[in-house]
């Protein structure tokens, strides 16, 4: 990426290779396929088995790690949660790949959906692992697999499937684990549904309806509430602001996490208009709460920045626009999944935000009080941002360079990058048994 020196705020962004630039592909519209498939799915847990236990049925000592989900590989790299972030091993998230493909190719309706995902959000690739967490005892990895429209539990030692839950419709997406670790919520994109599962058995505890295309899920108030952000249709080319109304019903749905009854609906369209930004999309992308959950910071489609929402006052209070990369095309239809920036995390103290500037090829640390950004750290299509185990670093996935990169919250500088698999997206803190041995090579 050739940075023009006339824009000094971007001078810190390094040059990207041509190979990395080629990783960007325009999403093909799949509106017709989605319209055909939206209500055709079936849901339910299958092949449910008790998760593996240690000898004697007791939990052994755990080690904290990070899972880096390689979406196009169908693998998850296990890396250290801080320090060197060295690779410890790799888990195959699609050990049943041939069985699933056979099932799909024998069902014309499923095949249409499968190919729509490949040519749309998959950018020409199958989406084999989106989100993932570990079970409380560290014996299993639980992952959503968009192209297979399911959630699976994988034994981290043997690599075998413990249980599989097919979501309603034909695509699974972002997940969230309850603070007690007992339940996992997963978005079913094409039926506007969030399923909540027992993380150990895969049995459905309940579900609730959302806006169009549910995306991120977040538990709040110690697990009392569950928030879902819907993003609407992001695979169409109707990306001009004047056509924003075609993107669907986008809203934040808040439910009681015990009963799954709706508590509140937040329509950010109304709040954005009141804030004076009718030009911005109301599709809420990744979010970050302050530690006391009084403020919500969120990204929206097409915008190079984020907004601050006061939860108690129910209003948007501040906006931060971040630098544009002059080499990023202004043609919105070339931006992946309607994203410009996609990925946020907050330091444990709540004083710093980490922002992934996906289409602008950088990440940066932002002071939460002043909203002043730090150095722009070069990154190839950064897709997610989380916090290291020791709380000192923001960890981003560079989906365009197949690596995970740590940025120091204190200095805003990159400390280390680690190569992982093909197209890493979600990166999550997790646990595995102490002395864990990988079922797959770590390269």
What does the DSSP 8-state code read for residue 8? G
Residue ranges of E strands in 179-261:
183-188, 193-198, 204-209, 214-220, 225-230, 252-256
* Span 27-78, pLDDT tens digits: 333 333 334 343 344 444 444 334 445 545 565 799 999 999 999 999 999 9
Whole-structure pTM value: 0.87
- What residues contact 197, with CB distance under 8 A and at least 6 apart? 45, 151, 165, 183, 184, 185, 186, 203, 204, 205
Instruction: List residues bridging with 218 in a β-sheet.
Output: 227
Q: What CA–CA distance (Å, rounded) separates 206 from 41? A: 17
Compute the distance between CA of residue 171 and CA of residue 149 in angstroms, rounded to an integer: 4
pLDDT at 443: 52
Residue-wise pLDDT tens digits, 110-135: 999 999 999 888 889 999 999 999 99
Q: Which long-range contacts (CB under 8 A, 24 or more apart) does 369-377 make?
A: 371/318, 371/320, 373/320, 373/322, 373/323, 374/411, 374/412, 375/12, 375/412, 375/413, 376/9, 376/10, 376/12, 376/13, 376/323, 377/12, 377/13, 377/405, 377/407, 377/412, 377/413, 377/414
Mean pLDDT of 133-144: 98
More confident call, 376 vs 11:
376
What CA–CA distance (Å, rounded) separates 443 from 8? 38
Can you list the positions of beta strands (E) in 324-423? 344-346, 352-357, 362-367, 377-378, 382-387, 393-398, 403-408, 414-419
Token pair for 240: 């001009």
Cα(284)–Cα(301) distance, integer angstroms: 7
CA angle 255, 188, 315 (to 5 degrees): 40
Nearest 10 degrees: Cα torsion 227, 231, 232, 237: 180
Contact 80, 66 (CB under 8 A): yes
Phi first, then psi, for residue 68 (nearest 5°) are -115, 110
pLDDT at res. 242: 85
Q: Is the dihedral of CA 357, 79, 222, 49 positive or negative?
A: positive
The average pLDDT across 140-161 equals: 98
Q: Give the pLDDT score at 56.
A: 53
What is the pLDDT, as a whole number, of residue 241? 85
pLDDT reported for residue 420: 98
Mean of the pLDDT values across residues 243-250? Answer: 90
How far is residue 194's CA from residue 342's CA, in Å, rounded to a whole number?
A: 21
What's the rounded mean pLDDT across residues 407-413?
Answer: 98
- Given a cut of 60, is residue 236 above it in pLDDT? yes
Task: Dig out the tokens for 235 from the structure.
Answer: 């695979």
Q: What is the pLDDT of residues 161-174, one digit of tens each?
A: 999 999 999 999 99
Angle at 285 between CA 282 and CA 288, to 5 degrees: 115
Among 344, 229, 222, CA closest to 293: 222
Percent of the chain with pLDDT over 90: 79
CATH class of 8-53+64-433: mainly beta
Report the mean per-residue pLDDT for the chain.
88
What are the boundaries of each domain within the chain?
Answer: 8-53+64-433
The 10s digit of each residue's pLDDT in 188-233 is 999 999 999 999 999 999 999 999 999 999 999 999 999 999 999 8
Token representation of residue 313: 């006052």
- pLDDT tens by residue, 263-289: 999 999 999 999 999 999 999 999 999
């Amino acid at each position: 990426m050739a940075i023009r020196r006339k824009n000094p705020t971007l001078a810190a962004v390094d040059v990207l290779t041509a190979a990395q630039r080629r990783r960007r592909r325009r999403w093909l519209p799949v509106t017709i396929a989605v319209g055909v498939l939206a209500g055709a799915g079936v849901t339910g847990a299958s092949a449910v088995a008790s998760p593996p236990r240690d000898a004697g049925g007791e939990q052994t000592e755990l080690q904290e790690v990070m899972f880096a989900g390689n979406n196009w590989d169908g693998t998850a790299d296990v890396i250290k949660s801080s320090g060197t972030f060295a690779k410890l091993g790799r888990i195959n998230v699609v050990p049943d790949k041939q069985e699933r493909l056979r099932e799909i190719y024998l069902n014309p309706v499923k095949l249409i959906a499968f190919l729509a995902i490949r040519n749309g959000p998959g950018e020409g690739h199958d989406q084999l692992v989106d989100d993932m967490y570990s079970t409380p005892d560290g014996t299993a990895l639980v992952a959503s697999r968009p192209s297979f429209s399911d959630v699976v539990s994988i034994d981290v030692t043997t690599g075998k499937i413990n249980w599989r839950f097919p979501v309603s419709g034909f695509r699974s997406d972002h997940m969230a684990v309850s603070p007690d670790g007992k339940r996992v919520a997963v978005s079913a994109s094409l039926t506007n549904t969030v399923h909540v599962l027992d993380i150990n058995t895969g049995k459905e505890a309940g579900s609730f309806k959302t806006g169009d295309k549910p995306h991120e899920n977040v538990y709040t108030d110690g697990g009392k509430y569950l928030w879902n952000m819907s993003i609407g249709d992001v695979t169409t080319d109707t990306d001009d602001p004047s056509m924003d109304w075609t993107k669907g019903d986008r809203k934040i749905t808040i439910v009681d996490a015990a009963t799954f009854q709706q508590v509140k609906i937040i329509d950010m369209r109304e709040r954005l208009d009141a804030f004076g930004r009718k030009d911005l999309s109301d599709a809420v992308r990744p979010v970050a709460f302050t530690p006391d959950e009084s403020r919500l910071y969120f990204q929206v489609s097409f915008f190079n920045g984020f907004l601050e929402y006061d939860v108690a006052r129910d209003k948007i209070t501040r906006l931060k626009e971040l630098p544009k990369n002059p080499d990023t095309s202004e043609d919105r239809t070339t931006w992946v999944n309607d994203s410009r920036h996609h990925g946020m995390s907050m330091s444990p103290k709540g004083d710093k935000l980490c922002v992934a500037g996906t289409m602008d090829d950088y990440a940066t640390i932002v002071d939460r009080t002043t909203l002043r950004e730090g150095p722009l750290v070069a990154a190839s299509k950064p897709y997610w941002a989380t916090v290291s185990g020791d709380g000192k670093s923001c960890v981003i996935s560079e989906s365009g360079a197949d690596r995970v990169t740590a940025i120091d919250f204190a200095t805003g500088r990159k400390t280390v990058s680690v190569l992982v698999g093909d197209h890493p997206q979600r990166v999550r803190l997790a646990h595995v048994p102490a002395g864990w041995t990988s079922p797959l090579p770590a390269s």
